[in-house]
Structure 1
Amino acid sequence: MKKICCLFIFLLFANSIFAQTKNKQVKDESQPIVLGITDKIKSTELGETRTINIYLPEGYNKKDTLKYPVIYILDGGLEEDFIHITGIVRFNTQSWIARFPKSIVVGIENTNRRRDFTFSVPNLDFVEKIGFKKESFPKYGGSDKYIAFLEKELQPYIDKKFNTDYHKTVIGESLAGLLATEILLKHRNLFDSYIIIAPSLWWGDQSLLAEAPKLLKAKDNKPVQVYIAACDKDEDKTMYDVAVSLSETLKQNDGNNTKVHYDYIQNEIHSTVIHQAVYNAFKAFYPKTIYQK
């Protein structure tokens, strides 16, 4: 009986050691899923250090001569739109789909988007018409500095550090869509493709829309393509109306230089529209995959 008891204890102990060893092996074999890299840029224009998330396509090699388009996400934090938009880009650029070339994705993490994405206005009386309180915008009107950051600091930094080509796309939704529209109208040469989703063009009592026809007559405007998405108008008629107005204004005043893709995504609301819109935008810009060409 004593021998049987000792044998049982031995087997129990051996089984425990085996289980621990097996678990340790499994643990040791685990590897993190790496989607990209995070970088820090000290910005003189903004007076602060900004976090930048960067996705490099499969097979990227700094020593190669191959160069890649760059897609900039204005709401590009890890807890914002970087991960799911990068997923859309990765999906569309897989070799068996090849809707558009493999691309670098740059996501700019926010510190104060209401400050950075809005242009200066004389007062905030208009925000109450939209349903906001003035106190919701303790800081605003910093878009000039943010655009300078994009032009003078971020784009040169990305172009110097990575193998980039000339083509640049910007993605902005809501207030970021307002900023993307301002860039399109005032600094359009910064990007070649604009994805503008449910833009907050109510800012400044729609003054940017009112100014648009004049801005579109600038002689140095290069040809660009623009995708504009509006979400369900039953949720917010004003947001729907300004998206439609932007589309019509571009078509009427800059039809030769701007190829406009307007998209009414009826079944999506303001908080859910971006994922479907970005997918639709790339499909509008690049209608066919490699197998449809």
Structure 2
Amino acid sequence: MKSISTKQLIRLIMVLSCFCSSFGQVAHTIEKTENGQLLGLGTQHFLKSTILQEERPFIISLPFGYKETHATYPVLYVLDGLANIKHTVGTVEMLTESGLIPPLIIVAIESLDRNRDLTPSNAGKNLHGSSGNAGIPQSGGAPRFLDFFQEELIPFIDSHYRTHPYRILEGHSLGGLFSIYTLMERPDLFNAFIVAAPALWWNKEEMTEKAKSFFKLTNTLDKTAYFGIGGGDGWGMRQELKRYIDVVEQHRPANFRWKHEQVGDEGHMASRMLLNYNGLRFLFSDIKISEGLIDNYSDTAFLESEKWLKKRYGKNARRPAEDYFSLVSLLVDNGNELGAITVLESASKEYPEYIGLLTYLAKLYENTNQRDKAVDTYLLGVEVSKKYKQGQEDDLLEEVRKLKRKNK
């Protein structure tokens, strides 16, 4: 079989890079109200809670295309929902479009009394943030709030939406404190945690004290957790988080995948968006193609890894387009054009709007004497070009005419 020349390969790389960069700026259509207001952040719902004896508001943000599919989606539960919904939706949409995380359902729980709901114990006088007299008398409601999650909120979400079993809990400050409390109190309730600038100073660092026994007695913890904080965060935050991480370091349960980092010079409030971004990137870092697969490629191993990805994170999970293309380029360099076709067939299904993937796939079909498949792939590219107004129809049809002349 005739291999693609270096000149052709460079040209294809440049073409695909151009198409990837142009499609990176294509935003999904966001619905508008009659007076032109943009929607897209989500819809507010209310759940009458027997456990909390109140009506709890929360916001549901569904991934693009939810109504047009029968797929299930992992769920990201975000504490302090009103404060964090805007940047969270934007970050999730960007990372999803890039293939760095799977599409997610976002459930943003609005805070009614965060000092009550997010604190694991009652705090008395001289507590940081109190007047120094009575402390925060309503504090210590986290056990009931956690019951609300397990017995009311999560069952409601699972029964009304197409949810994948993979669940994430994200919290900042007192929400981070609640997330750490949940990790140790009911580790089976969530698969992963984003713990952002947690208020571990609470009640003389009682969560760190609890961690000493929890991690000592926990041999296996099949969870993923990101512990992040801004480099400019102050009293009660950075050193307290480091002391908690020291406990984790000392015991290291098997299968517990975690990361601790300080980022930039952001202060306590400014760090939220960056920690959300970094946290999601870390939780789903296993989406990227592994070095083991790159070094020891086989079609079987690649296809099995694709099945694993969709089983773990839902059928709409995919790799970044750049990952697919890098693997294809490596396989072509090594003379494995049939392997490159296998990867491109998968990639073009995951990114149907990328004409560059289809063009490369058609060239490889042509190069391996699969001319009928090459023609069909070029014609599919024509339809994609029309749909997304890429202006490539004439060039692609010319390739079809060349192939048909060869077949005569």
TM-score range, shorter chain: 0.7 to 0.9
CA–CA separation in structure 2 for the residues paired with 1:144 and 1:273: 27
Going from structure 1 to structure 2, the CA distance change for 1:141 and 1:278 (only over 3 Å counts) comes to same
CA–CA separation in structure 2 for the residues paired with 1:220 and 1:164: 29
- Give the 3-state SS of the residue equivalent to 2:236 in structure 1: helix
Report the equivalent of 1:187.
186
Report the equivalent of 1:251.
249
Q: What is the deviation of 1:199?
A: 0.5
Report the equivalent of 2:346.
none
The answer on whether the counterparts of 1:99 and 1:290 sit within 8 Å (CA) in structure 2 is: no
CA–CA separation in structure 2 for the residues paired with 1:291 and 1:248: 36
Going from structure 1 to structure 2, the CA distance change for 1:248 and 1:259 (only over 3 Å counts) comes to farther
Deviations 1:225-267 (A, max 9, x none): 110112235x514310111122222232233132111110241
- Give the 3-state SS of the residue equivalent to 2:323 in structure 1: coil
Paired letter, 2:239: D
Report 1:112-261 matches (<5 A): 112-121=113-122, 123-127=123-127, 130=128, 132-134=130-132, 137-217=136-216, 222-232=221-231, 235-261=233-259
Q: What is the deviation of 1:98?
A: 1.0
CA–CA separation in structure 2 for the residues paired with 1:103 and 1:238: 32
Deviations 1:180-199 (A, max 9, x none): 00001111111111000110
CA–CA separation in structure 2 for the residues paired with 1:269 and 1:126: 24
Q: What is the deviation of 1:286?
A: 2.9
The answer on whether the counterparts of 1:69 and 1:103 sit within 8 Å (CA) in structure 2 is: yes
Structure 2, gaps ≥5 residues long: 1-32, 289-319, 325-408
Structure 1, gaps ≥5 residues long: 1-27
Aligned match for 1:274, one of 272, 275, 282? 272
Report the equivalent of 2:261.
263
Q: What is the deviation of 1:136?
A: 6.3
CA–CA separation in structure 2 for the residues paired with 1:131 and 1:147: 23
CA–CA separation in structure 1 for the residues paired with 2:220 and 2:150: 16
Going from structure 1 to structure 2, the CA distance change for 1:259 and 1:126 (only over 3 Å counts) comes to farther
Q: What is the deviation of 1:220?
A: 9.1
The answer on whether the counterparts of 2:168 and 2:194 sit within 8 Å (CA) in structure 1 is: yes
Q: What is the deviation of 1:131?
A: 5.1
Going from structure 1 to structure 2, the CA distance change for 1:291 and 1:148 (only over 3 Å counts) comes to same
Question: TM-score scaled by structure 1?
Answer: 0.81
Report the equivalent of 2:53.
47
Identity %: 27
More helix by share: 2
CA–CA separation in structure 2 for the residues paired with 1:68 and 1:42: 25
Paired letter, 1:89: V
Report the equivalent of 1:60.
66
- Give the 3-state SS of the residue equivalent to 1:191 in structure 2: coil
Report the equivalent of 2:397.
none
Question: TM-score scaled by structure 2?
Answer: 0.59
Q: What is the deviation of 1:71?
A: 0.2
Going from structure 1 to structure 2, the CA distance change for 1:219 and 1:138 (only over 3 Å counts) comes to closer
Report the equivalent of 1:110.
111
Paired letter, 1:118: T
Supply the RMSD in Å over aligned alpha carbons.
Answer: 2.1
Paired letter, 1:49: E
CA–CA separation in structure 1 for the residues paired with 2:219 and 2:246: 21
- Give the 3-state SS of the residue equivalent to 1:281 in structure 2: helix
Report the equivalent of 1:34.
39
Deviations 1:165-220 (A, max 9, x none): 11001110100000000001111111111000110111111111011121235569
- Give the 3-state SS of the residue equivalent to 1:226 in structure 2: strand
The answer on whether the counterparts of 2:51 and 2:148 sit within 8 Å (CA) in structure 1 is: yes
The answer on whether the counterparts of 1:251 and 1:260 sit within 8 Å (CA) in structure 2 is: no
